[in-house]
């Protein structure tokens, strides 16, 4: 029977609330790949920073997020309305909020269990990932109007290969990455993985590989996105529930939120091995780099807070609290001055001033708000999720 993700998440949170222990990190954790997913030898060094064919070079080889500075909106993004798209998972709707007035513009029905809203590689379309509806609902970001439904299987999340050729549906319940032609959505390849609860990932500096979290399997998987094959498995300490993944601006470290242990793993991007675990707060979940590439915002879903991490020192430098809140997923506005987050168990959305952590607005929305998308955002192309732009 298909498991209902929201109910499972509640169970995990309940379990997390019963423990405050930090995981014992195993520095050289590895395991053999399963026979159904042949793997190449584990990498001894991070992928090259020299771009592969069809993958745009980084604007700055020393800063993966250089294209995300305020004012660097692509021509297509400049045509978009400044809106917030909130998938209300339990209501099968998307609530649309005006960024300027912070008021609700409309509430639209999409499909069963919408999980995230994802910008397309070319920034021309937004997709609502209707997980149990087995479909993607398109949105025109210039108008905010709904378009057609595209049939796909189990779209918990959605990403794009760095060359823009493939849309990658994260079929969580089926433990797969499904590669579709990004223009026609014709299914090209299904990659089965030894990964229970595969859900979030981020890409290597050159865009050829991705590190993905296995929420119910206490591990990570490292995937060759060009050849569409498993390359390495990385077990995490027992009971880990890895969530969002973000790479550091210098491309040397992956940060992985662990909702069960309340913190983030630092993973060496060259060796794909755990460096250490850093406690942040209960229910650590979403990860968002600041527009100046100096700070990582870490949402603590059941800790009523957002932790601030310095990329330079790899240490915590602050915390903002949201009394009674459940900050989950979202992103920064184009200026970087406002951090928008969904309140997963609070049926609300938060707008936070990034200069001081002041709560600017607390907006009631539907039940189970999840992968909120702030649009437009600066950057040349989208790798997916709620807005990973380079």
Residue 53 belongs to a domain? no
Residue 385 has pLDDT above 50, yes or no: yes
Averaged pLDDT, 290-316: 98
pTM over 0.75: yes
Residue 50 belongs to a domain? no
pLDDT at residue 326, as a whole number: 98
Residue 98 belongs to a domain? yes
Q: Which of 9-13, 295-299, 331-335, 383-387 has the lowest mean pLDDT?
A: 9-13
Query: Could you tell me if 79 and 235 are in contact, meaning their C-beta atoms sit under 8 angstroms apart?
Result: no
At 155-183, the pLDDT tens digits run 999 999 999 999 999 999 999 999 999 99
Average pLDDT, the chain: 91
Residue 70 has pLDDT above 80, yes or no: yes
Confidence of residue 17 (pLDDT cuts 50, 70, 90): very low
Counts for the chain of helices (H) and strands (E), in that order: 2, 28
Averaged pLDDT, 256-276: 98
pLDDT at residue 47, as a whole number: 54
Q: Which pairs from 65-69 meet CB under 8 Å and 24+ separation?
A: 65/249, 65/289, 65/291, 65/293, 65/390, 66/293, 67/378, 67/379, 67/380, 67/389, 67/390, 68/289, 68/291, 68/293, 68/377, 68/378, 68/379, 68/389, 68/390, 69/291, 69/292, 69/378
pLDDT at residue 53, as a whole number: 77
pLDDT at residue 168, as a whole number: 98
Q: Which of 36-40, 224-228, 285-289 has the lowest mean pLDDT?
A: 36-40
Averaged pLDDT, 67-92: 98
Q: How many domains does the chain have?
A: 1
Residue 270 has pLDDT above 70, yes or no: yes
Residue 33 belongs to a domain? no
Residue 190 belongs to a domain? yes
Averaged pLDDT, 228-257: 98
pLDDT at residue 28, as a whole number: 37
Element (H, E) at 9: helix 5-16
pLDDT at residue 24, as a whole number: 67
CB atoms within 10 A of CB 311: 21
Residue 18 belongs to a domain? no
Residue 29 has pLDDT above 80, yes or no: no
Confidence of residue 21 (pLDDT cuts 50, 70, 90): low
pLDDT at residue 23, as a whole number: 83
Confidence of residue 347 (pLDDT cuts 50, 70, 90): very high
Residue 359 belongs to a domain? yes
Residue 76 belongs to a domain? yes
Q: At 333, list the tokens.
A: 């506005």
Residue 16 has pLDDT above 60, yes or no: no
Residue 4 has pLDDT above 70, yes or no: no
Q: What share of the chain is helix, strand, coil (3-state, %, to 5)?
A: 5, 45, 50
Q: In whole angstroms, give the CA distance from residue 327 to residue 321.
A: 10
Which CATH number do you get for residue 314? Answer: 2.130.10.10
Residue 8 has pLDDT above 60, yes or no: no
Domain hosting residue 262, numbered range: 5-9+58-375
């Amino acid at each position: 029977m298909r498991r209902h993700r929201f109910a499972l998440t509640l169970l995990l949170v309940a379990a997390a609330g019963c423990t405050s222990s930090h995981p014992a990190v195993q520095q050289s954790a590895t395991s053999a790949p399963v026979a159904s997913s042949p793997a190449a030898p584990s990498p001894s060094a991070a992928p090259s920073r020299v771009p592969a064919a069809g993958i745009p070079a980084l604007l700055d080889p020393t800063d993966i997020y250089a294209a995300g500075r305020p004012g660097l909106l692509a021509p297509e993004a400049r045509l978009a309305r400044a809106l917030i798209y909130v998938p209300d998972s339990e209501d099968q709707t998307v609530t649309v909020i005006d960024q300027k007035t912070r008021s609700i513009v409309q509430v639209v029905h999409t499909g069963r269990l919408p999980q995230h809203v994802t910008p397309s590689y070319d920034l021309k379309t937004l997709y609502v990932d209707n997980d149990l509806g087995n479909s993607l609902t398109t949105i025109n970001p210039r108008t905010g109007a709904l378009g057609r439904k595209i049939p796909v299987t189990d779209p918990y999340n959605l990403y794009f290969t760095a060359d823009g050729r493939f849309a990658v549906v994260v079929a969580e319940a089926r433990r797969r990455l499904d590669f579709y032609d990004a223009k026609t959505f014709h299914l090209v390849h299904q990659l089965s993985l030894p990964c229970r609860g595969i859900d979030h990932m981020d890409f290597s500096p050159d865009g050829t590989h991705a590190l993905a979290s296995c929420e119910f399997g206490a591990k990570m998987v490292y995937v060759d996105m060009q050849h569409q094959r498993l390359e390495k498995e990385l077990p995490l300490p027992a009971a880990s529930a890895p969530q969002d993944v973000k790479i550091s601006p210098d491309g040397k470290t992956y940060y992985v939120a662990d909702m069960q242990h309340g913190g983030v793993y630092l993973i060496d991007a060259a060796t794909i091995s755990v460096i250490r675990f850093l406690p942040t707060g209960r229910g650590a979940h979403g990860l968002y780099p600041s527009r100046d590439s100096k700070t990582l915002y870490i949402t603590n879903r059941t800790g009523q807070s957002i932790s601030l991490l310095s990329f330079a020192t790899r240490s915590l430098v602050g915390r903002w609290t949201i009394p009674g809140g459940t900050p989950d997923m979202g992103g920064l506005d184009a200026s970087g001055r406002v951090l928008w987050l969904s309140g997963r168990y609070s049926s609300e959305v938060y707008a936070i001033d990034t200069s001081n952590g002041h709560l600017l607005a607390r907006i009631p929305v539907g039940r189970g708000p999840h992968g909120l998308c702030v649009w437009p955002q600066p950057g040349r192309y989208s790798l997916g999720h709620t807005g990973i732009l380079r």
